[in-house]
Amino acid sequence: MKVAAMTLDEPKRRSRIRFGHPSRMAPETREITLLIVGHFMLFALAMSHDEIVAELVADGWILARYGERFELLIGLVLFLCWSGLTLRLAGIINHARVEK
């Protein structure tokens, strides 16, 4: 079994995941940035999904008796989207940790 010792002359490897200008970012960093933006968008939608359903009912797109069901359905879809984004974010971070 080989044990690698770090000397003072060897520079530490830095993680490729960091914020910056999109044209200079690594693909992993761009993906993480987009995932974070997606999380913020989903959070905003989750905070206002009941108002969205109320507007749809008021405009006649949804019957009033189905309003609560649509609100639950939209909440479930947003939860599944949030879960997917979180799993992808965890996978990218885990991959970056293994590369280190």
Domain boundaries, the chain: 25-99
pLDDT (tens, 9 = 90+) of the chain, 100 residues, equals: 454 555 555 555 555 555 566 666 666 777 888 899 999 999 999 999 999 999 999 999 999 999 999 999 999 999 999 999 999 999 988 887 777 6
Displacement of CA 52 from its chain's centroid (Å): 22
Determine what percent of the chain falls in helix, strand and coil, rounding each to the nearest 5.
70, 0, 30
Q: Are 71 and 3 in contact (CB under 8 A)?
A: no
Token couple for 53: 């359903």
pLDDT of residue 1: 47
pLDDT of residue 40: 95
